[in-house]
A = this chain, B = another copy of it.
Amino acid sequence: MKQIRGGVTAPKGFTASGIHVGIRKNREKKDLALIWSAKPCSAAAVYTTNIVIGQPLIVTKEHLADGMAQAIIVNSGNANTCTGEQGIAAARRMAALVAEKLPVSPKDVVVASTGVIGQQLDVSVIEAGMDALVAGLSKTGNIDAREAIMTTDTVKKEVTIQFEIDGAIITIGAMAKGSGMIHPNMATMLSFITTDCAISSAMLQKALDESVKRTYNRVSVDGDTSTNDMVVILANGEAGNKIISEDGPAYREFYDALNWLDTQLARMIAKDGEGATKLIECTVEGAADEDKAEQLAKGVICSSLVKTAFFGADANWGRILCALGYTRKDFDPNKVDVAFESASGYIDVCKNGAPLPFSEEKAKKILSYQEVTVYVGLNEGDAQATAWGCDLSYEYVRINGDYRT
């Protein structure tokens, strides 16, 4: 497997486009994206678990009920959520506008929105921009599309990989956005994945479900599960491999590649958390089972007090034990070990739930790096899990204190 360039347009048969139509006031910021496959695709998706869900998700769920899709239209600047019937009509209109310009049924168009909740979306500006959007579709359109879906993101999130299945070269490309309102137990933030692999909708959904659980759902920025999260994958089969329609070596190769790509995107989203200065990776090892390890790792990366301590590069490991404890998962606090690692080095700070003497200076240096790993050893079994979060900084407060105005 190798990493290449190209994002969602790298797989055969996909083009994309991104433009500014005026949903956002800032004319420098693109706010509408389109992904198009020349051929109909197997499609799979995972959505937010929030009870309040965005109007675009209601429409997209209907459209993907048959496991097929051919286009994705996404706007940023307005989430089109808590907008009632008027908002559902707006989401349907977005799909219809694509079908008016391209040879596709509205039922094969995925609709997504991200931005402020509780304001009606003005579809007339999207309608006015449709000719330019469709005219812009190209093999390098990934560059504009990945920018058009960003909100408070400071980094473009794109990963592209290539690998072989039975001699056929398969490409998977993806773009994601996500920086705030991000929390485990969701489906996920927005992530759009394309591939030319030939795979059935059912196996595509299975691979996506399995991977989302181990990647996006182990990320938290602020504990707020969005109303609009979704991951969508389209597979148009142009790579020419024998179609994957059951579990087996080909499915496993596809899953491993997809999971690797999703892991990279998950880490990018955590590292680019609103106001974040660093990525916090927490690996819980020696657990009796993976589920427990996952819940405990999430507990650590979600703790406001752990997050602020990392912002201050303060080796306050007591807060890590405190966070493990309030997950209420059953473990023996007197067997817990804690260590920190970064590019600067490694340090043990807690053994059997009690303090170890350590160099504050060395710990400070390790915690000052942009990517820091916390190792938690439970010493009760062989399972492990990793979760990704970020520190909590002044910037997070500034960004969110006046997001709307």
**B183 and A84 contact, CB distance less than 8 A:** no
Contact code string A65-95 (vs B, CB < 8 Å = 1, else 0): 0000000000000010111101000000000
Q: What chain B residues lie within 8 Å of A329 (beta carbons)?
A: 51
**Judging by beta carbons under 8 Å apart, are A400 and B304 in contact?**
yes
**A223 touches which of B181, B223, B402 (Cβ 8 Å):** B223
* Interface of A: prevailing SS: loop
How far is it, in angstroms, between the C-alpha of A116 and the C-alpha of B305 when the chains are bound? Answer: 12
Give Cα A185 to B49, complex, Å. 22
A105 within 8 A of B: no
| Interface footprint category on A | 35 or more
Binary interface profile of A, 366-405, with partner B (CB < 8 Å = 1, else 0)? 0000000000000000000000000011101111111111
Are A305 and B51 CB-contacts (below 8 A) given A84-B352, A321-B118, A353-B84? Answer: no
Proximity bits, A307-325, B CB within 8 Å = 1, else 0: 0110110111111011111
Taken together as a complex, chains A and B put the C-alpha atoms of A309 and B222 apart, in Å, by 13
Which of A's residues lie within 8 Å of B, judged by CB?
49-53, 79, 81-84, 86, 116-120, 180-181, 183, 185-186, 222-227, 302-305, 308-309, 311-312, 314-319, 321-331, 333-334, 350, 352-355, 360, 392-394, 396-405
Q: Is the CB of B325 within 8 A of A50?
A: yes
How far apart are the CA atoms of A303 and B327 in the complex, in Å?
18
Contacts A82-B350, A224-B303, A226-B322 known; 10 new A-B pairs at CB < 8 A: A51-B328, A82-B318, A84-B353, A117-B319, A119-B355, A120-B355, A185-B326, A223-B223, A223-B303, A225-B322
A324 to B224, CA, bound (A): 10
